[in-house]
């Protein structure tokens, strides 16, 4: 038989029951959160956008500003790389005697 001297079974049980109670509360809170998102969706709101707003509001202002600056920098870098690649492709086409195809009009792109 294992010696349990110095280990309070009642104390361990107390911790276990407290944790179980917290788990039940978390489950109820998460259900409430789902209901709020469902209600917002029912009113036509975009849930992904709401979740992004929640994520941003959790950040402090400096962290959010830094992240927005980096996002802007990366997007401009990608745009610049795309513009250079497009220009390079146009130059190659003209060297081969090909014609540049015009992009679809804005209304046509919307229907794609």
Are 37 and 77 members of one domain? no
What is the number of domains present in the chain? 2
Residues 7-61: tens digit of each pLDDT? 889 999 999 999 999 999 999 999 999 999 999 999 999 999 999 999 999 999 9
Give yes or no: residues 69 and 47 share one domain.
Answer: no
Same domain for 53 and 88, yes or no, is no
Look at residue 111 and tell me whether its pLDDT is greater than 50: no
Same domain, 71 and 50: no
The answer to whether residue 96 scores a pLDDT higher than 70 is no
Please check whether residue 110 lies inside any domain of the structure. no
Residue 14 lies in a domain: yes
Whether 67 is covered by a domain: the verdict is yes
Q: Which residues contact 99 (CB under 8 A, 6 or more apart)?
A: 93
82: confidence class by pLDDT, cuts 50, 70, 90: confident
- Kindly state the percentage of the chain with pLDDT values over 90: 62
112 — pLDDT class (breaks 50, 70, 90) = very low
Cα 20 to Cα 1: distance, rounded to the nearest angstrom: 29
* 66/49 same-domain check: no
Domain region containing 18: 9-58
Half-sphere exposure at residue 66, Cβ-oriented, CA atoms within 13 angstroms? 5
């Amino acid at each position: 038989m294992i010696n349990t001297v110095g280990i309070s079974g009642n104390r361990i049980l107390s911790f276990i029951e407290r944790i179980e109670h917290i788990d039940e509360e978390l489950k109820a809170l998460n259900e409430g959160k789902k209901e709020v998102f469902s209600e917002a969706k029912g009113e036509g709101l975009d849930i992904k956008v709401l979740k992004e707003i929640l994520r941003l509001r959790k950040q402090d202002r400096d962290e959010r500003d830094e992240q927005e600056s980096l996002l802007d920098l990366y997007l401009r870098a990608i745009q610049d790389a795309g513009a250079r690649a497009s220009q390079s492709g146009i130059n190659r086409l003209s060297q081969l005697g090909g014609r540049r195809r015009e992009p679809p009009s804005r209304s046509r792109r919307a229907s794609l």
